[in-house]
């Protein structure tokens, strides 16, 4: 039985309001009103329009006196004034009020009851409502009846463009966040990931103010034994580095695939679902994700055969950034509620397109801070508009696109938690070996899984290492069932001089990037970087 909701505080006057509809109803509307298709596995497949990835250049944060000293202004958080935000907000509301019906999705962000946030999404597409039904933590009927006023509201009018002639607008797309009003406005982009990342950006603002580290990472937990809870591992990395794939381990329980908080009592997932890349998805290599693609799952921008309804996961005809959004319960070994003790291992995943970093390195605490603040990776095709091949990038805290506060705030919180809870840090390269992109080969997923298994088992804690003279990394040089030639990168290159040249070039990029954090980090952390 639908629960009535009063939308007058949001200035919504649409005659038909569909609140927290079941997936079956949203399927019907998406098929009949939005040209969605149902594929052979039972999932629904739909297009996100012209935008098939995030639009970071169009992300704005309202500049207000209450928060101006605490926001990390610059290329990540572009400043707009409140007047412009209110113009865009009204534009979104006016558009929503032209629809014959809208959808409301009420849910929670954060599995920790003490810190969870009530989120309300207002949108005109059934697909967006189903997506957020999957990605937020779903309230019970009783919780929905007692939901009350939300803590954070998303006005998604992505089908309607921003006015590029409005002051401070750079295009027909605008993704606007007002911290004080606790609202997000989306114009000119139907890519569903903008909603998910809008919630995460707000949590990146809220949680550190409460002493909780907000993290762009996945997490899993080993089996319990001896009356003690299983060990917990965190996986930091940008889209395309393997966060979702590596954390979906049949031998371990999944806590979450993308967004977490680390507080005094342990860690908690921020989301109620997973948003997995599914380009080149293979049933044998990623069986957990494969099985999760069933009724209720949203497949975004995939290609499928109109006759057989079978998805072609190899096709990038629409975009490389094909996605599957599903409730976390669709993973067979998901841990629900998504809460866990303090982690034992913190793993930084980097997709090194230059092919010079070791597949696995054991980090000191100073090195952990250096690589956390650096957040080195390659941006892989499809996660942002315009990316067609790997591009070298440094993304502070492996999360720069979503940080609201200065990276040093999150780094200090991580350093404090690593020390307090005696967690080990690792750098794992899931990128190239034997040469750069276009020459070498991508490190096999099976090899990376063996490295992760060895970390989780504790067998690498005292394993022999090779000290890399360029980056100062202690590269683990012996891992069961892994080719030793792979573990020491320059051994995999045909020409030693080519490796040295490529390594020196990347080291210089590290130094150049880290100059922005040197004062905040201190000399010991600076010294933990490349020589």
Looking at 216, 342, 417, 424, which residue is catalytic?
216
Looking at 10, 19, 51, 54, which residue is catalytic?
54
Catalytic residue list contains 170: no
Helix (H) or strand (E) holding 325: strand 323-327
Looking at 173, 214, 233, 239, which residue is catalytic?
239
Instruction: Determine the Cα–Cα distance for residues 263 and 24; give it in Å rounded to an integer.
Output: 37
Looking at 196, 260, 323, 379, which residue is catalytic?
323
Distances (CA, A) of 366 to 277, 350, 429, 520, 524: 32, 18, 19, 13, 7
Q: Of all residues in the chain, what percent are helix, strand and coil, respectively (each to 5)?
A: 30, 25, 45
Answer for the pair 255, 220: CB distance below 8 angstroms, yes or no.
Answer: yes
Instruction: Determine the Cα–Cα distance for residues 269 and 266; give it in Å rounded to an integer.
Output: 11
Looking at 63, 243, 344, 371, which residue is catalytic?
243
Catalytic residue list contains 6: no
Catalytic residue list contains 25: no
Catalytic residue list contains 197: yes
Q: CA nearest 290: which of 260, 251, 245?
A: 245
Q: SS3 of 85, please?
A: helix
Q: CA nearest 324: which of 279, 276, 282, 363?
A: 276
Q: What is the DSSP string of 465-529?
A: EEE-TTT--EEE---TTS-HHHHSHHHHSS-HHHHHHHHHHHHHHHHHHHTTTHHHH-HHHHHTS
Instruction: Determine the Cα–Cα distance for residues 102 and 1; give it in Å rounded to an integer.
Output: 18
Looking at 118, 125, 197, 342, which residue is catalytic?
197
Looking at 176, 258, 352, 474, which residue is catalytic?
258
Distance of CA 403 to the CA centre of its chain: 12
Whose tokens are 């990347």? That residue is 506
Residues 6+ apart with CB under 8 A from 162: 88, 91, 169, 171, 172, 173, 174, 187, 188
Catalytic residue list contains 449: no
Instruction: Determine the Cα–Cα distance for residues 356 and 499; give it in Å rounded to an integer.
Output: 7
Catalytic residue list contains 244: yes
Catalytic residue list: 54, 197, 216, 239, 243-244, 258, 323
């Amino acid at each position: 039985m639908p629960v009535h909701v009063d939308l007058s505080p949001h200035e919504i006057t649409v005659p038909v309001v569909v609140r927290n509809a079941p997936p079956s109803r949203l399927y019907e509307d998406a098929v009949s009103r939005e040209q969605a298709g149902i594929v052979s596995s039972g999932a629904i497949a739909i297009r996100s329009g012209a935008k098939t990835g995030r639009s970071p250049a169009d992300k704005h944060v309202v500049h207000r006196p209450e928060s101006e000293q605490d926001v990390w202004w610059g290329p990540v958080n572009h400043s707009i004034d409140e007047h412009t935000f209110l113009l865009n907000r009204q534009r979104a509301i006016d558009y929503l009020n032209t629809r014959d019906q809208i959808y409301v999705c009420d849910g929670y962000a954060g599995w920790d009851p003490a810190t969870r946030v009530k989120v309300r999404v207002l949108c005109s597409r059934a697909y967006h409502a189903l997506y957020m039904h999957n990605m937020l933590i779903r309230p019970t009927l009783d919780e929905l009846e007692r939901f009350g006023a939300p803590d954070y509201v998303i006005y998604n009018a992505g089908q309607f463009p921003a006015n590029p002639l409005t002051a401070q607008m750079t295009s027909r797309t605008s993704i606007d966040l007002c911290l004080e009003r606790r609202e997000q406005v989306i114009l000119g982009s139907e890519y569903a990931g903008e909603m998910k990342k809008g919630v995460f950006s707000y949590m990146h603002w809220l949680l550190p103010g409460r002493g909780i580290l907000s993290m762009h990472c996945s997490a899993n937990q080993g089996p319990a034994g001896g009356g003690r809870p299983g060990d917990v591992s965190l996986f930091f990395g940008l889209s395309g580095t393997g966060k979702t794939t590596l954390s979906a381990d049949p031998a371990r329980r999944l806590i979450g695939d993308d967004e977490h908080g680390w507080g005094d009592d342990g860690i908690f997932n921020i989301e109620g679902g997973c948003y997995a890349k599914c380009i080149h998805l293979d049933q044998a290599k990623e069986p957990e994700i494969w099985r999760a693609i069933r009724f209720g799952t949203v497949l975004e921008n995939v290609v499928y055969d109109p006759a057989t309804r079978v998805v072609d996961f190899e096709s990038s005809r629409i975009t490389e950034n094909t996605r599957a959004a599903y409730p976390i319960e669709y993973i067979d070994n998901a841990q629900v509620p998504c809460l866990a003790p303090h982690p034992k291992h913190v793993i930084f995943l980097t997709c090194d397109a230059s092919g010079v970093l070791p597949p696995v390195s054991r980090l000191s605490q100073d090195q952990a801070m250096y690589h956390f603040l650096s957040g080195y990776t390659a941006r892989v095709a499809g996660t942002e508009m315009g990316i067609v091949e790997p591009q070298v990038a440094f993304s502070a805290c492996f999360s720069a696109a979503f940080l609201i506060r200065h990276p040093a705030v999150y780094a200090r919180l991580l350093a404090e938690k690593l020390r307090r809870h005696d967690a080990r840090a690792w750098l794992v390269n899931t990128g190239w070996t034997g040469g750069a992109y276009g020459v070498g080969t991508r490190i096999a997923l099976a090899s990376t899984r063996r490295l992760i298994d060895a970390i989780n088992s504790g067998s690498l804690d005292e394993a022999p290492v090779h000290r890399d003279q360029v980056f100062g990394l202690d590269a683990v040089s012996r891992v069961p069932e892994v080719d030793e030639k792979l573990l020491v990168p320059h051994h995999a290159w045909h020409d030693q001089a080519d490796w040295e040249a490529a390594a020196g070039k990347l080291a210089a990029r590290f130094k150049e990037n880290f100059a922005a954090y040197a004062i905040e980090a201190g000399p010991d952390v600076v010294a933990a970087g490349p020589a």
